Amino acid sequence: AEELFVRSEKLSIAGQLAAGIAHEIRNPMTAIKGFIQLIKSDLSKRTEYFDIILSEIDRIELILSELLILAKPQTVTFSTIEIHSLMNEVITLLNMEAILNNVEIITDFYEEEIYILCEINQIKQVCINFIKNAIEAMPTGGSLTIQINVKDTNGVHIRFIDEGCGIPDSVLEKLGQPFYTTKEKGTGLGYMVSKKIIENHNGTITVSSKLNEGSVFEVFLPLNSIG
Ligand code: ADP
Ligand code: MG
């Protein structure tokens, strides 16, 4: 199979609209969920219906929380973060999920500390998205290698290298399109949100993939300073 490279482009989606919708739906949903839980605890019969309703609400909540990331937060707090320690925190968070899926996370870090100016929660969200996608791309297990290095003085390269199913052309074309997913329980928002966040940090995402061999998602972020 031939190797494919796709450069991320600026998105023209209405992020503010998405945020508005997400906020407007989230509040009544929280109330509905609370009352269903109250009613459920009072009834012994028909609890399965409540369980279905609750799991559907959970799904809407997941979609809304991903859409909310698209909104420019009221207070964007950029701070200087050491990228290896950020990555280690994210790995700790997802390590159990990886183990349960027979995925070994291997780190190939730079020998020195690397500091970047970023919105820490947003960059964590990006790393979570790529790690989750890698795990989901390896249903029978495999290894996910996370490489961090500073190729030159103006940026850090973070690579998520999986041994998964790879990405066919038809999917690659649609990557970044909201709600496009090949998964039964996917939202199709993870990549789009990640791309938006990285662009807000003046970075880029590059995807390369070989069918049935694996994929590499490379994030480039401009450096604030090198430790
Ligand atoms: P979701 O994970 O909810 O499906 P994403 O936006 O994260 O949404 O990903 C969109 C699609 O891109 C996925 O459904 C999958 O088909 C494809 N994809 C993303 N990452 C990978 C990967 N590491 N390996 C194979 N396919 C991937
Ligand atoms: Mg995803």
CA 152 centroid distance within chain: 26
Residue 219: burial class (beta carbons within 10 Å; 0-12, 13-18, 19+): buried
Residue 155 dihedral angles phi and psi, to the nearest 5°: -175, 165
For the Cβ of 214 lying below 6 angstroms from any atom of ligand 1, the answer is no
Atom 19 of ligand 1: nearest residue by CA position: 133
Q: Which token pair is 95?
A: 């390590």
**What is the C-alpha to C-alpha distance for residues 96 and 107, in angstroms, rounded to an integer?**
16
**What is the C-alpha to C-alpha distance for residues 191 and 34, in angstroms, rounded to an integer?**
31
Q: What local confidence, expressed as pLDDT, does residue 210 receive?
A: 96
Q: What local confidence, expressed as pLDDT, does residue 1 receive?
A: 45
Ligand 1 pocket test, candidate residues 169, 179, 181, most atoms within 8 A of CB: 181
ipTM: 0.99
Q: What is the longest distance spanned by two Cα atoms in the chain?
A: 64
Closest CA to 146 of 207, 217, 223, 227: 217
**How far away, in angstroms, is 193 Cα from ligand 2 center?**
10
Q: What local confidence, expressed as pLDDT, does residue 9 receive?
A: 37
Ligand 1 pocket test, candidate residues 101, 131, 133, 196, most atoms within 8 A of CB: 133
**What is the C-alpha to C-alpha distance for residues 130 and 94, in angstroms, rounded to an integer?**
11
Mean pLDDT by 10 residues, the chain (227 residues): 44 58 82 86 75 86 78 72 96 94 97 92 93 97 97 87 97 90 90 91 95 97 65
3-state class of 71 per DSSP? coil
